[in-house]
Amino acid sequence: MTTDAQNPADGRTARDEQALKDEERRATLIFPSVEVFVNDYLVHVVQRRTDDGSHVWCPSWWAHAEAVARITALWRAFEYLSSDPALGMSNWWLHQADPHLAVLLSPGGPFHACGSERGHSPAARLPTTPAPSGAFDHPVFALMEDDLFPDDPLDLPTS
């Protein structure tokens, strides 16, 4: 838990320390955010025909929760795998980019109501009803107590 108590040695707070760590981590990334990853890399290397309906892309990709989740996963995997000079990028394309892009750009994917020509149209959410009490009590539905990233889900390995 982050507090504002100052360290007597240097006067920095725990929040200051966390901000410094976050800044150092971002400095080691190739792309400091998912938005920069999309604008400076993804849209330049992934080029598909979108005028014939075979692939669908929304210029407002950031307005689609599933797209943001998938593209963030692509970005995080890219940052991690790019440090492997031998097979990292091949693994990224084969095991990350190809499957996610197949879903993202498919006519039935998260951009199905949008298009490069039409622009953004909000899609309907999947319908749901509340689960009955106890439906998720089995341990298989719980997270591990030893969470690998307990404080920061974007805490990517840097070495």
Is this prediction's pTM over 0.75? Answer: no
Mean pLDDT of the region 115-141 = 83
pLDDT band at 159 (very low <50, low <70, confident <90, very high): very low
Which of 28-37, 46-55, 116-125, 126-135 bottoms out in mean pLDDT, i.e. has the lowest? 116-125
Q: What is the pLDDT of residues 65-102, one digit of tens each?
A: 999 999 999 999 999 999 999 999 999 999 999 999 99
Whole-angstrom distance, CA of residue 34 vs CA of residue 22: 15
What backbone torsions phi and psi does residue 126 show, to the nearest 5 degrees?
Answer: -65, 140
CA distances (Å), origin 19, targets 9, 33, 141: 18, 15, 33
